[in-house]
Amino acid sequence: MNNMLEKLEENIDYSFKNKELLMEAMSHSSYINERKINKTACNERLEFLGDAVLELASSDYLFKKYGDIPEGKLSKMRAALVCEPALYECSKAIDLGNYIRLGKGEEAGGGRNKPSVVSDAFEALLGAVYLDGGMEEARKIILRFILTESQIEQAHISDSKSYLQELVQAHMKSSLVTYKTISESGPEHDKEFVVAVYIDEREYGEGTGRNKKAAEKAAALHAIKLIKNKLIETE
């Protein structure tokens, strides 16, 4: 197991001074319970700490990067970035599931691929790094694997229609945003929709998705990028 954890250290580009912290971060409660070890030896306390570290780092990042976005939108973006499904996807970059110590029952039940188990372990890992190396080392990992460009884009997509409306109202004379389905293809169980977004009667972008709602969100994101680029050009 120690050799495996050395590989995890390589994956995150951080070497622990206190290896016990890393061991604890990777110890699921099922593993601890099965071996009748003290309950506090599982990763739940580190998860609690890592959750706070992640929230602070992501809040600081979003606050500084998006000075034109109101509090409500920032909160939604943060929630989208640190939610269980998002952390689970981010964990795949470091192959985190393979390093968690699980009890036999949890192992047999596919615990290594459960978003709840893996996302909790990721937060525990951040808590361990924070205790071992401080906030800046934890922040480096958060920026490298969680606050990535693709994850930020997904966070925008999660509420892109509302954000586009806010952007249009703040920076353009019109407030009329409409969506039109351009095409619909594929069998019933695997549809693909293409939707265009218009501001007044001018098209500002297209998006595709498995349903109209997803396609509209993707189209809104394209419009947001176009508008923000134009705003930068006029500064």
CA dist list (Å): 185 to 192, 194, 205, 212, 216: 5, 9, 19, 12, 16
Residues that are catalytic: 51, 123
Please check whether residue 118 is in contact with residue 35, taking contact to mean a CB–CB distance below 8 angstroms.
no
Nearest to 32 by CA among 114, 124, 95: 124
